[in-house]
Structure 1
Amino acid sequence: MGSVYSFNQCFQKHFSAKAATRMASLALFTSLSLSVAGPSLAQTFPDKPLKIVVGFPPGGGSDLMARMVAERLSPLIGQPVIVENKPGAGSTIAASFVAKSKPDGYTILFGQAANLGIAPAMMSTLNYDPIKDFAPITRLAAAPLLVVGPTTLAAANMKEVITLAKANPNKLSFGSPGSGTLGHLAGEMFVSQAKIKAVHVPYKGQSAAITDIIGNRVELYFSTIAVISPHVESGRIKAFAITSKERSPSFPNVPTVAESGLPGYEAENWYALLAPAGTPPAIVDRLNRELKKILGSPDFVKEIAKEGGRTVGDSPAEFAKFLSIDVPRWQQIVREADLKTN
């Protein structure tokens, strides 16, 4: 028995040593395989159709921009680019879907301030992180809001609006397209930085809000340029300020909010493309290069300008830096206004 036991011990020891050697070799082989997988995958990319996932129904502004990009990107990469609509929950369903997709560059998110900046600030139950779960490719475009009011309001500019609001706490109201929208949070940012007290009036749609501005039933409204510009140009509504860092070419004579006494104020909607985190950098860079060609084309620039926006085309690193600043900024505004929904 003793000799058999000794033989078994010796065999097990020898087998374990061989197994360990084989496992180490396998681990080394796997590591080497993974190290070359990224570059080889990037070299063959793309070899099948790409999908851009949009968090809104077909026909809306985000959907139309995504289709403009898809149409132009397809011939540049030699593959079909499909737009897939996954609407719902403030476009967070689409963001969640892409965050969990395979990081191979074939499933891309059409992201924007709504699902990557505002929603994460407003909703505590989201199952994705706007910074950790995505690989930024580039921002496509950015569009400011126009702050407008009734022509009968006793204020000629934004500074006088602030003075009027301070003299009449909670008497001034500001409208938005709905709670949790960019217009709402841009208004809350204005109230906070101006140190005034005002009442938020959420609307379901733009038409009712415009009617109330014209009728002097709401004093301020934070609107997209494309929707409100005909009413400003006709003289039915007064424009006080633009929410971007710089003046808009659409309204060059309208000062920014920052110029109007609130330095540092900036609130813009932005539109971008992002891949799932872990997507090989070579693939991200390839997409970035091709998208910059689109964003620099005169016809695309013209289409974006029609909506009161501008093309951006930043690098993945620049976009990542932008997100690291923009996301916490909205979180701070939501905390200060106590706006969390869940």
Structure 2
Amino acid sequence: MPNNHFRSRLRRHFLHRAFCFAAGAAIAATALHSQAADAPLRWVVPYPAGGAADQIARIVAQDVGQASGQAIVIENKGGAAGMIAAETVLRAPADGQTFFVGSNAPLVINSAIYAKMNYDPAKDFVPVAGLGKAPLLLVTRKDLGVQDAKGLIARAQQAQKEGKPLTMGSASSGNITHLAGEFASDRMGFKVTHVPFAGSAPAITSMMGGNVDIMFDALPSSMQQAISGRIVPLAVLDNQRFPQIPHVPTLAELGFAGTEASAWFGLVARQGTPQAAIDRMNLAVNQSLAKPDVQDKLRRIGAQPIAASATEWGQFITAERERWIPVAKRLDIKAE
């Protein structure tokens, strides 16, 4: 795809940039604390507790809060592919106290699959800071009877011939676990029946109960179950294997290049938010992402830091729109 080089350059830049903010530690802590020390900040997360968005946001928010003395409250507002949370933030004052933990669906994919939205993600929000991203992991239920991607393809194609396509769970309609799953399965040569859930955690729970066949899930909500043997990991949708599960190949290794996909999360704010508040939060978040212990916590759950300026974070989101909106339209994916 035409923007592969740009996305690869950003990916390398984000991973290295996390190490470059330590010098601003004292400045970041003092600046954020001065924002409104008596009133807690709000980070509104568009998915239920326990999923990738929630875990990543809490790791970073806890460190930022401790370093600055500024309390940060995590609010989980699931539903409508992240749009309930987005609208919650847009109804709040643009005073630098409320931030949206934006992700693929509410900031990118929904624009392509919903006939009508109550906000324009490209115009109504401004970028603040990246938090983290988590590569997707192709997993199956244990009793499906496959142990590798080749076996899954054969099983899925046979099921399709019989008129009973495999079921694919997702964190919600329009979520990256939905769109990337449709895209990757199409590339692998089979169709699926999509089954949306209200978050990754319930989708994985349903899979472990034998109710869903496969899922292209973000690592934080599936990696531990895969390691423990409760579900079967088949491939990582990234350009390299993930350190915590080094035996699991990438889809690119298996002959399906260009299928890389991650669930990503970062802060945006309502248009009109004071630039000073954006700058303070960006500095505080990047200082947190530069800490080895924060990086280690993210890696342990299956995530990687996204350290970037507000401008770079905005460029990343734009690149994702340029990649995924055409995919959604080509595959004719609509909200369910």
- The two structures have a TM-score, normalised by structure 1, of 0.72
Instruction: Tell whether 2:41 aligns with 1:51.
Output: yes
Q: Is the 8 A contact 1:188 1:333 kept in 2?
A: no
Paired-residue identity, %: 33
Q: Which residue matches 2:335?
A: 341
Query: After superposition, where does 1:141-156 map in structure 2 within 5 Å?
Result: 141-149=132-140
Whether the 8 Å contact between 2:45 and 2:74 is mirrored in structure 1 is no
Distance 1:44 1:308 in 2: 30
- Contact 1:53 1:86 (C-alpha < 8 Å) held by counterparts: no
SS in 2 for 1:306: helix
Is the Cα–Cα contact under 8 Å of residues 223 and 301 in structure 2 kept in the other structure? no
Map residues 1-342 of structure 1 onto 2, 5 A cutoff: 46-48=35-37, 49=39, 51-56=41-46, 59-61=49-51, 62-149=53-140, 157-159=148-150, 161-162=152-153, 165=156, 169-170=160-161, 172-177=165-170, 179-180=172-173, 181-202=175-196, 205=202, 206-212=204-210, 218=213, 220-235=214-229, 237-341=231-335
Task: Give the count of matched residue pairs.
Answer: 297
CA offset digits 1:150-177 (Å, max 9, x no partner): 6676766435644665677456524214
- Could you report, residue by residue, the CA deviation over 1:314-337 in whole angstroms, capped at 9, with x for unpaired residues? 221221111112134333333233
1:27 corresponds to: none
Cα distance in 2 for residues equivalent to 1:88 and 1:156: 33
- How many angstroms apart in 1 are the aligned matches of 2:287 and 2:313? 17
Counterpart of 1:105 in structure 2: which amino acid? G
* Residues 87 and 149 of structure 1, relative CA distance in 2, 3 Å threshold: closer
Q: Distance in 2 between matches of 1:266 and 1:302?
A: 23
**Distance (Å, rounded) in 1 between the aligned partners of 2:253 and 2:153:** 13
Partner SS, residue 340 of structure 1: coil
Q: 1:278 and 1:333 mapped to 2: Cα distance? A: 31
**1: CA distance between counterparts of 2:229 and 2:64?**
40
- The code of the aligned residue for 2:301 comes to E
**SS of match in other structure, 2:102:** strand
Tell me the C-alpha RMSD between the 2 structures. Answer: 3.4
Unaligned runs of 5+ in 2: 1-30
Deviates more, 1:87-96 or 1:285-294: 87-96
State the distance in 2 between where 1:83 and 1:100 align: 17
| Change beyond 3 A, Cα 1:131–1:159 | farther
Q: Which one is further off, 81-90 or 288-297? A: 81-90
Higher RCO (C-alpha 8 Å, min separation 6): 2
CA 1:149–1:67 in structure 2 vs 1: closer, same or farther (change >3 Å)? Answer: closer
Structure 1: gaps (5+ residues): 1-41
Q: From the CA coordinates, give the structure whose radius of gyration is larger.
A: 1
Q: Aligned pair in 2 of structure 1 residues 265, 101: CA closer, same or farther (>3 Å)? A: same
Q: Deviations over 1:195-234 (max 9, x none)?
A: 4334435567222212328xxx83x332343444455435
Deviation at 1:282, TM superposition (A): 4.2
Q: Give 1:100 deviation, angstroms.
A: 4.7
Contact 2:167/2:194 (<8 A) preserved: yes
Contact 1:133 1:276 in 2 (8 A): yes
2: CA distance, partners of 1:231 / 1:66: 21
Relative to structure 1, the CA distance from residue 83 to residue 333 in structure 2 (aligned partners, 3 Å threshold; closer, same or farther) is: same
**1:73-112: per-residue Cα shift (whole Å, max 9, x none)?**
2354454333344444333122123235444422211212
Quote the Cα distance in structure 2 between the aligned partners of 1:283 and 1:68: 21
* Closer, same or farther: CA 246–117 of 1 in aligned 2, 3 Å: farther
- Cα distance change of structure 1 residues 223 and 291 upon mapping to structure 2, 3 Å threshold: same
Judged with a 3 Å threshold, the aligned counterparts in structure 2 of structure 1 residues 59 and 160 are, in CA distance, closer, same or farther, namely: closer
Separation in 1 of the partners of 2:269 and 2:287?
A: 19
Q: Partners in 1 of 2:219 and 2:103 — Cα distance?
A: 17
Q: How big is the shift at 1:242?
A: 0.6
